[in-house]
């Protein structure tokens, strides 16, 4: 007697449901409690820049709060504002807080509000001002250890005007983001685990 593989017995719908349930269960376990926020440099160096506190909510969403480490991210005065910045091998990466109200939640595999809370800009050590075209957005994906984000280039002038609909984050559209060639920035990825 020939036995059919288990995925054929389930059918495509059953297989997708099983995969979604497994991913959902893993996601719920990964996004709770205090997690370490780390920048990974192209030189192999890992710099812990703070923590992300996750709190599951009854409605299925998970709330988050950033807690940046002042020792790892000292203040830099750029363009008449203070930024918390992490110095790298050849450039400085500065956190740019999202300036408009947002729910500070993630749901399912949608990390867009956390991605907006983790917007940065880069600058050369010799530069005194912030160049808004030098924005960095980390597109997050779930891993077996937590979340990892690869850098994408954004123009920060988009945040200069309040969004028409505050429930829709401006960088949600991929057309506002460009992949950064690997190794061209000192930070090659960001992890939360």
What local confidence, expressed as pLDDT, does residue 88 receive? 85
What local confidence, expressed as pLDDT, does residue 79 receive? 61
**Is residue 40 domain-shared with residue 14, that is, in the same domain?**
no
Q: Is the pLDDT of residue 26 over 60?
A: no
Mean pLDDT score of the chain: 84
**Is residue 163 domain-shared with residue 138, that is, in the same domain?**
yes
CA-wise closest residue to 149 among 139, 137, 163, 136 = 139
pLDDT tens per residue across span 95-137 = 999 999 999 999 988 999 999 999 999 988 887 777 889 999 9
Q: Is the pLDDT of residue 29 over 90?
A: no
What local confidence, expressed as pLDDT, does residue 18 receive? 40
**Is residue 175 domain-shared with residue 88, that is, in the same domain?**
yes
User: Percent of the chain having pLDDT more than 70?
Assistant: 83
Residue 162 CB burial class (10 angstroms; 0-12, 13-18, ≥19): exposed
**Is residue 8 domain-shared with residue 91, that is, in the same domain?**
no
State the average pLDDT over residues 25-46: 81
**Is residue 184 domain-shared with residue 93, that is, in the same domain?**
yes
- 36-50: b (≥16 Cβ within 10 Å) or e: ebbbbbbeeeebebb
CA-wise closest residue to 86 among 125, 141, 143 = 125
**Is residue 4 domain-shared with residue 44, that is, in the same domain?**
no
**Is residue 38 domain-shared with residue 25, that is, in the same domain?**
no
**Is residue 76 domain-shared with residue 104, that is, in the same domain?**
yes
Q: Check: CB of residue 76 under 8 Å from CB of residue 90.
A: no
State the average pLDDT over residues 87-95: 88
Number of domains in the chain: 2
What local confidence, expressed as pLDDT, does residue 14 receive? 44
**Is residue 25 domain-shared with residue 47, that is, in the same domain?**
no
**Is residue 11 domain-shared with residue 54, that is, in the same domain?**
no
State the average pLDDT over residues 23-28: 42
Q: Is the pLDDT of residue 150 over 90?
A: yes
For the entire predicted model, the pTM comes to 0.82
What local confidence, expressed as pLDDT, does residue 76 receive? 77
**Is residue 22 domain-shared with residue 40, that is, in the same domain?**
no
Long-range contacts of 1-10 (CB under 8 A, 24+ apart): none
- Parent domain of 26: 1-30
The model's confidence at residue 6, banded by pLDDT at 50, 70 and 90, is: very low
Which of helix, strand or coil describes residue 131?
Answer: coil
**Is residue 7 domain-shared with residue 47, that is, in the same domain?**
no
Residue 94 CA neighbour count, 13 Å, CB half: 26
Does the CA dihedral 181-130-119-88 come out positive or negative? positive
What local confidence, expressed as pLDDT, does residue 187 receive? 95
pLDDT tens per residue across span 51-88 = 999 999 999 999 999 999 999 998 877 665 788 989 88
How far is Cα 142 from Cα 133, in angstroms, rounded to an integer? 28
What local confidence, expressed as pLDDT, does residue 130 receive? 75
What local confidence, expressed as pLDDT, does residue 64 receive? 98
């Amino acid at each position: 007697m020939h036995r059919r593989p288990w995925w054929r017995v389930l059918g495509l719908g059953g297989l997708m449901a099983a995969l979604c349930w497994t991913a959902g269960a893993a996601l719920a376990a990964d996004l709770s409690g205090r997690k370490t926020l780390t920048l990974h440099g192209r030189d192999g160096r890992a710099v812990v820049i703070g923590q992300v506190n996750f709190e599951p909510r009854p409605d299925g969403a998970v709330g988050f709060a950033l807690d940046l480490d002042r020792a790892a991210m000292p203040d830099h005065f750029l363009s008449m504002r203070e930024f918390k910045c992490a110095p790298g091998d050849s450039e400085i990466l500065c956190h740019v807080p999202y300036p408009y109200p947002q729910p500070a939640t993630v749901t399912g595999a949608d990390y867009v509000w956390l991605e907006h809370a983790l917007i940065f800009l880069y600058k050369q050590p010799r530069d005194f001002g912030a160049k808004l075209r030098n924005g960095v957005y980390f597109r997050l994906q779930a891993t077996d250890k937590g979340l990892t984000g690869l850098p994408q280039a954004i123009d920060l002038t988009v945040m200069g005007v309040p969004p028409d609909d505050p429930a829709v984050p401006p960088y949600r559209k991929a057309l506002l983001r460009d992949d950064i060639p690997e190794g061209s920035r000192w930070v090659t990825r960001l992890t939360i685990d």
